[in-house]
Amino acid sequence: MNENATLPRVWAVTLGFNNAADTIECLQSVARSEGVDLRILLVDNASRDDTVERVLKEFPAAGVIRLKENTGFARGFNVGLLHALREGADFVFMINNDTTIAPDLLRRLADAAAGEPRAAILVPKIFYYDEPKTIWSAGSRFRAFPPAIIIRRGRGPDDGRLDQPLDLPFATTCALAFPRWALEKLGLLDRNFFFFSEDYDLSLRARAAEFLVRFVPEAHMWHKISKSTKVGSPNPFFWRTYGRSTRIFCRKHRATHPWMTGPLHLLYVLLRMAAEGKRYGIRPFMEGWREGGRTELLPVPQATGEGVDPGELVRPASPTS
């Protein structure tokens, strides 16, 4: 009897856009996973480096899908999520390519999902890559004033204060895990967001459906912190996209969550940018804000494949062991 026959069939899906070395290190850590029947999939978002060639050579079991253009975070990941579902995944783990994971992370997340049937999204404890004992994220919470979504994190080495499993208001898409049924019921990531806010949008959709966003503190991983999006850099594209996504999020959720979509929140964001010495971002942010106000919003893609971009299947995934 195949010992994997009784294990959950887990697909780990990552999205690559250049930064081949990060992708390789991420996949190396995923390939060391224990206690699950694992398939690994890279969706390459039109990288200009040798990411695809290196993955094909160094990970013979990994599946690879290549996109003709950089479609952004949500649309790119949706290609991988849909493929995993069509290939019979019981459980899907989406992971940024600038991260590494503990060998037992996937098993712990799958076990937590099995123990809480209403958990649609499961979130690990994420540490800084360069400070591996300091927590970067243990989920997110809402701060009433000034209104903002705040990442739960530690100030120094992990002291156990964030070790309790709990249900979260929000999760960040650095790493999210889903049982199959959750993606079938909720749909995939909202393609209107190129990047930013798709994680909070998905969390609100899950909670509106009376499902849980569950923090699993015993599942550990490490994050190099947003190399591809250049958070805080003078890059106008970053700030324009930030503004556009923020406006789209406000349009979608103002009726049910006015406390985090109103003018006070916008004012806070602009004042924070100025206070942090990032005035160079204000103009492109507001350009993106205006663009997000007039953008026609497309429906959320579904697990049936509606609204998901086509991709070239370079190589199908096979079991890692």
Digit-coded pLDDT (tens) for 193-249: 999 999 999 999 999 999 999 999 999 999 998 544 445 678 999 999 999 999 999
Question: What SS3 class is residue 204?
Answer: helix
Statement: residue 56 has pLDDT above 60? yes
Dump pLDDT digits (tens) for 265-312: 889 899 999 999 999 999 999 999 999 999 999 999 999 999 999 999
Question: For the chain, what is the radius of gyration of the CA atoms?
Answer: 19
Statement: residue 260 has pLDDT above 80? no
The pTM score is: 0.93
Mean pLDDT of 50-58: 97
Query: What is the DSSP-derived secondary structure letter of residue 18?
Result: S
Average model confidence (pLDDT) across the chain: 93
Query: What is the DSSP-derived secondary structure letter of residue 157?
Result: B
User: Which among 46, 144, 203, 22 has a CA at the least distance from the CA of 95?
Assistant: 22
Per-residue model confidence (pLDDT) at position 226 = 55
Mean pLDDT of 45-65: 96
Dump pLDDT digits (tens) for 18-50: 999 999 999 999 999 999 999 999 999 999 999
Is 123 in contact with 175 (CB distance < 8 Å)? yes
SS (H, E, C) 279-317: HHHHHHHHHHHHHHHHCCCCCCCCCCCCCCCCCEEEECC
6: burial class by Cβ within 10 Å (0-12, 13-18, 19+)?
A: exposed
Statement: residue 1 has pLDDT above 70? no
**Domains of the chain, first to last:** 7-229 (3.90.550.10), 236-294 (no CATH)
Dump pLDDT digits (tens) for 138-184: 999 888 777 788 999 978 899 999 999 999 999 988 999 999 999 99
Per-residue model confidence (pLDDT) at position 142 = 85
Cα 228 from chain centroid? Answer: 13
Cα 113 to Cα 208: distance, rounded to the nearest angstrom: 19
Cα 166 from chain centroid? Answer: 19
Beta strands 140-143 and 148-151, pairing class? antiparallel
Residue 132: band (very low, low, confident or very high) from pLDDT cuts 50, 70, 90: very high
